[in-house]
Chain A
Amino acid sequence: MSGFRHDIQASIPALRRYARALARDVDAADELVQDTLVRALRSEHLFHGGDVRSWLYTILTNLNRNRLRSLARRPIHTLIADEDAADAAGPEAGLRDIERALASLSEDQRTVLLLVALEGLSYREVAEVQGVPIGTVMSRLARARAQIKSYLDGERPALRRIK
């Protein structure tokens, strides 16, 4: 296996983790990962060094953005029961709370927070993934954290996202 292939292979578990948190749906997440891998393999000849992992995160982030755009054109139905179920107590509830808090973020904010907190990317790497200056990464991150905090503190209506 070439070094390039090897690097891709080694990144798959982390890509799955990122995709799962981003898409919050097992099937949609694995589809994103598969599409990312296919694109990466096709573009092998275009890759001239650098960090394969960051590049894969970039592809996946872009694919997810396209996915959300096409979803936005269709009406979304959410089960009411699903919304209400989360107030139950217990450790499960805590995990579901963070899930729902993440869902209340804008897509760019969610991407930044997950890349930093879950994937351990540096601000610079995130800036490259999103194609924005580092300052923008930091302000998105600050907004994401403020929003999650207010969500978890119970100020839910502040920024509900219907998506």
Chain B
Amino acid sequence: MIDRLPITEDELQAYIDGELPEDRRGDVEAWLATHPEDMARAAAWRAQNDAIRARYGGVANEPLPARFDLDRLARSSRSWKLAAAVAVAFILGGAVGWLGHAAVARVAAPPRGGLEQFTANAVGAHNVYVVEVRHPVEVPASEAEHLVTWLSKRVGYQLRAPDLERLGLRLIGGRLLPGPTGPAAFFMYESASGERYTLYCARSNAADTALRYSDIGEATAVYWVSDDVAYVVSGKGDRTRLHNVAVLAYEQLEHGARKVHGG
């Protein structure tokens, strides 16, 4: 058989959700016929959809209680001007947050949304461990797989140590650290010239944010929150470099779930 373009996870998912362009559906079906693992996964996703519908689908058929009578609700809504302004504010707020995602805020500001302590911890850990010569990390990169598995288990979500080789930074290892609300994972990277960057991450209740700068003492940090995980990349030296490191890490962590499956 002639090699086709491999099917990506995104495409497999789009196929299940009926979002895949018509002309690619045949390719996915052919792929599934020869890739039992992906076939099993697709079947599992379908079964999840079915289970969700089986559990909650019936709610839409329940008789509507009187509390949802629109005329009554309309009459009871007082001070609607203020409320309308609030509604607009939060709808716009979402849109602005999204637009802000496109660019890193260039102005350093105190971390918001309860992240002050989190960022301070991250920078503190950075300052303590980057100067270590013999014991900068608890688990070396030679055991990277174990490191990630272990930290994931302790931190409570599936971690990834981003690959920063493109910027000349090699993972040297990591350690488990206390965070403001629970265990935090800490990864350290080093360049050939000895400059070190660290990534500190843990679960967080804070709202999603775009990438932001924070200047704390001699180290500079870039932090963000995505999907209930807060991340801080810390480093010394110039901001453009830190910016590039943080953006590369961000891109990998954000899009990590969408890698191509070789089969």
Contacts and interface: CB of A to CB of B under 8 A. Distances in A.
B49 A117 contact: yes
A5 interface: yes
A108 interface: yes
Nearest to B58: A17
Interface string B126-165: 0000000000000000000000000011001110000000
Nearest to B65: A30
B97 A131 contact: yes
Contacts of B44: 145, 149
A33 B68 contact: yes
Interface extent on B, as a size class? 35 or more
Given A102-B52, A138-B10, A108 B228 contact: yes
Given A39-B83, A62-B91, A143-B257, A14 B156 contact: no
Interface in B57-104: 57, 59-62, 64-65, 67-68, 70, 73-74, 76-77, 80, 83-84, 87-88, 90-91, 94-95, 97-98, 101
B258 interface: yes
Given A30-B65, A108-B208, A142-B13, A17 B257 contact: no
Categorize the interface residue count of chain A: 35 or more
Given A20-B59, A143-B227, A138 B258 contact: yes
Contacts of B84: 42-43, 45-46
Given A72-B205, A148-B48, 17 more contacts: A8-B70, A12-B64, A14-B60, A43-B83, A43-B87, A62-B91, A97-B51, A98-B51, A108-B208, A123-B17, A131-B94, A138-B14, A138-B258, A139-B257, A143-B227, A146-B158, A152-B48
Interface of B: 9-10, 13-14, 17, 19, 41, 44-45, 48-49, 51-57, 59-62, 64-65, 67-68, 70, 73-74, 76-77, 80, 83-84, 87-88, 90-91, 94-95, 97-98, 101, 152-153, 156-158, 205, 207-208, 227-228, 254-258
